[in-house]
Amino acid sequence: MEISHGMGAAVARASLGNFPLFSTFDLDEARARVSRVFCEHSLNVVGRSGRLGAEMYYRPLRGVGIGRMRYGASVSVDAGQLGDFALIQMPLSGAETIEHGGQTVLSDPSCASVLSPGQSLRFRHEESTEKLFIRIDRETLERHCRQHLGGDLRRPVVFDAAMHLQSPRAQAWVRLLNWLCQEISEDDASGAGMLQSPIYAAQIEQTVLTTLLLCQPHNYSARLADDTPMVAPSYVRKVERFIDDHADEPITIGDLAECAAVSTRSLFAGFRKFRNTTPMQYLKDVRLRRVREALISASPESTTVTAVAMRWGFTHLGHFTADYKRSFGESPSATLGR
């Protein structure tokens, strides 16, 4: 069985065999162990399929992880919304029917599924299915996309859910995964492999993210493909630095124009042209990220969402909650409660 000119199932199985995570015949244990890698979800055996025989192999590399798994039996999975990660699933055998963010994908060895953070996910994993998967932390993905675009992201990255592996662009992804599986086959837990090097792992992470962003269509593809020089003028970068340093202080558009020594009209025009946003939206996005950082590190026993939101200038809690969920795919109380 091959996935598009070279990703052999035997290669993937051999390369990940030295990183076993679990093997079980117990449905509840399988659900709990898979949840630790991905997120909480429901898991049910469908119909009179074969006996559950779940197993997973997994190798994390910084903000990226590559793994292989199967359930044995035909199962249905409902994950609600993906929050903190993107997920690419590439069946080595069998098939899955994916319902994701309003799209339906029949995924088999010729078609991978690309699942975006913040989008709903349900799927049926057929009895004979075994798959390779790549998990990417949401913050890692969005930071990398921001670095390429030279500015903030007003919306989360949302991919087309189907990756047709025979297409010319997808072939670059297949070749990369084939190479990465070969690298993992040379790796082990003893510390002797090249993947143990933080520098090498960082380069692999960057290559995986860049290849995915360039080969799979998403809502920022057109901007990434635009090779027109778009170096922002110094006053835009100066305002960004000012906001980053003073986001916890009362700031008006007049303050930002004064800092930049340009008119408010010029400031709006510069941000619209070079950042595809407005100065005040940039300020809001920075404050939302600071709230998230504070909630992740805080304890529910020592603080509240209201206190953190007010600390960063959000006085209308209904609007704040809606903006937060739109940006991060979960409510602020869910972030604090983890």
Tens digits of residue pLDDT in 84-131? 899 999 999 999 999 998 889 999 999 999 999 988 999 999 998 999
pLDDT the model gives residue 1: 31
Helix residue spans in the chain (DSSP H): 9-16, 27-37, 138-149, 168-185, 198-215, 221-225, 234-246, 253-260, 264-275, 279-297, 305-311, 317-328, 332-337
How far is residue 86's CA from residue 334's CA, in Å, rounded to a whole number? 18
Mode of pairing for the β-strands spanning 130-137 and 85-93: antiparallel
Residue 173, pLDDT above cutoff 80: yes
Beta-carbon contacts of 50 under 8 Å, excluding residues fewer than 6 positions away, are 72, 73, 74, 127
State the average pLDDT over residues 218-236. 77
pLDDT the model gives residue 203: 85
pLDDT the model gives residue 83: 76
The mean pLDDT value of the chain amounts to 86
State the average pLDDT over residues 303-327. 90
Q: Band of the pLDDT at 182, cuts 50, 70, 90?
A: confident
Task: Enumerate domains of the chain plus CATH numbers.
Answer: 2-224 (2.60.120.10), 234-337 (1.10.10.60)
State the average pLDDT over residues 246-251. 90
- The whole model's pTM is what? 0.67
How far is residue 47's CA from residue 232's CA, in Å, rounded to a whole number? 58
